[in-house]
Amino acid sequence: MATNGKVSVRNSMRFKSDPIFPQLFINNEWHISSKGRTFPTVNPATGVKICDIQEADKADVDKAVEAAKAAGERSAPWRKMDVSSRGRLLHKLADLIERDRVFLATLETMDTGKPFLQSFFIDLDGSIKTLRYYAGWTDKIHGKTMPVDDSFMSFTKHEPVGVCGAIIPVGQLIKETAARSNLKRVTLELGGKNPCIVFADSDLRLAVEETQKGAFYNQGQCCTAASRVFVEESVYEEFVRLSVASAKSLVTGDPLDPRTSHGPQIDRKQFDKIMQLIESGKKEGALLECGGRAVDDTGLFIQPTVFSGVKDHMRIAKEEIFGPVQCIFSFKCLPEVIDRANSTKYGLVAAVFTKDMDRALSVSSALEAGTVWVNCYNALHAQTPFGGYKMSGNGRELGEYALAEYTEVKAITIKLSNNL
């Protein structure tokens, strides 16, 4: 049962008719790992083990890469398949995910602690929409013709890069390894210490709602977390008051209960790191307005936490917390807040809250971030590119821009024999 401030976790849902496959999926088959090693996955809300997962070794990864290479050979059925048929297969995958949406959302919630409604309406919905978006692109990746001199004709075509690996969450290590190797192409979506700027003319209740959505979504375990909120001095106290009231209204409890809006952290290591950073905030002089404590002993729950009076030199202002901690700063003037917002090694996302669209556009241009939201937060769409500046990553995901990361551009030039 979900409660406000206290957790009572029911027995997790069980889908006895739906199997869970903890094996490795390679070349369209389920496999036991080459060395037989496994690792447990635990429900962070209850501490109960869900199952043991097969742990892939180098030999397993090599086998998967070879299978992917074989699928990309010119004689392979996938390579020979016409592009429209590939799009239909992506639509079919989206249909299957939609069919099993409740089951998949439940597994995600049991595995990560994310509230079920977030898994169902955000994660699964986003996955389905992204597959359908790129299904529409399969027959629309066009080359160009280029004007050259009269004796030649040149055109381009886009060809697949080949086997791509998606690895989470050691992006910086991948970047360093790739730099030492053979120029492998790497795209990275890394961390963030994302600034939100709230001007006095903004809709204050909207700004509170959206910045807290950014701060507490998935218990703050999100690269886009709204972890630095800069509020203009004249409305600072009111913003803090409304933020505290909003944080206290969040319902902490069983993530499978639809009334729950705040679940547990994903594991003990992350839980301990967050609690240490909360303690550092208190020791360095920030004012703990609410939260800051573990909720109970059975799960990895941390109360939604709000700090006011945060200064730029504090650890909670500089380090990516990856937890349910909202840090609220004050500012006096526009040049000051732009400098402070950009004073970080990260540059993933940012937000601006104001009714003045001229100011919104000028501030958006000045912020060093790959995405800037105006009067909203976490507004992610399959059509819109996503990625970061500085240490927040390389390249872009989503939208047409992402296609460039997975294709090579080939220029073909033909000598014309008959000149008119």
Together in a domain, 402 and 372: no
Average pLDDT, the chain: 90
CB of 374 closer than 8 Å to CB of 352: yes
For the cut 80, the answer to whether the pLDDT of residue 331 exceeds it is yes
- Residue 175, domain extent: 144-187+395-420
Same structural domain, 203 and 342: yes
Q: Is the pLDDT of residue 13 over 90?
A: no
Q: Does pLDDT of 77 surpass 80?
A: yes
Give the catalytic positions in this structure.
189
pLDDT of residue 190: 82
The confidence score (pLDDT) of residue 191 equals 86
Domain assignment present for 374: yes
* Residue-level pLDDT at 5: 46
pLDDT-based confidence at residue 88 (cuts at 50, 70, 90): very high
Whether 411 is covered by a domain: the verdict is yes
Across residues 324-344, what is the average pLDDT?
96
Check whether 100 has a pLDDT greater than 80: yes
Vertex 361: Cα angle to 239 and 405 (nearest 5): 105
- Whether 129 and 49 map to the same domain: the answer is yes
Number of domains in the chain: 3
Q: Are residues 328 and 358 in the same domain?
A: yes
Flag whether pLDDT at 339 surpasses 90: yes
| 414 and 320 in a common domain | no
Does the global pTM surpass 0.85? Answer: yes
Question: Looking at the predicted structure, is the pLDDT value of residue 7 above 60?
Answer: no
Residue 268 lies in a domain: no
What's 76's domain CATH number?
Answer: 3.40.605.10
Q: Domain of 329: which CATH number?
A: 3.40.309.10
pLDDT at 175: 58
* Percent of the chain whose pLDDT exceeds 90: 80
pLDDT score of 179? 57
Are both 88 and 101 inside the same structural domain?
Answer: yes
pLDDT band of residue 165 (cuts 50, 70, 90) is confident
Q: Are residues 28 and 131 in the same domain?
A: yes
Same domain? 308 vs 318: yes
Residue 267 lies in a domain: no
Residues 171-205: tens digit of each pLDDT: 555 555 655 676 577 787 788 999 999 999 999 99
Of 289, 344, 339, 354, nearest in space to 317 by CA: 344
At residue 150, does pLDDT exceed 90? Answer: no
First-residue to last-residue Cα distance in the chain: 82
**pLDDT reading at 104 higher than 60:** yes
DSSP letter assigned to residue 332: S
Do 25 and 96 reside in the same domain of the chain?
A: yes
Which has the closest alpha carbon to 48: 256, 209, 348, 310? 256
Residue 312 and residue 413 in one domain? no
* pLDDT at position 170: 52
The per-residue pLDDT for 6 is: 46
Q: Is-contact 225 322, C-beta < 8 A?
A: yes
Question: Is 292 a domain residue?
Answer: no
Examine residue 388 and state whether it is found in any structural domain, yes or no. Answer: no
- Give pLDDT, residue 171: 53
* Closest CA relative to residue 297, chosen from 116, 48, 47: 47
Between 117 and 175, whose confidence is greater? Answer: 117
Alpha-helical segments (H) within 196-345: 204-216, 233-249, 268-283, 315-318, 334-342
One-letter-per-residue 3-state SS of 201-224: CCCHHHHHHHHHHHHHHHHHCCCC
If asked whether residues 358 and 409 sit together in one domain, one would say no
For residue 55, pLDDT beyond 70: yes
In a domain, 35, yes or no: yes
Residue 44 lies in a domain: yes
- pLDDT, tens only, 271-304: 999 999 999 999 999 999 999 999 876 789 999 9
Q: What are the tens digits of pLDDT across the range 349-406? A: 999 999 999 999 999 999 999 999 999 999 999 999 999 999 888 889 999 999 999 9
Position 2 pLDDT exceeds 70: no
Residue 82 sits in the same domain as residue 123: yes
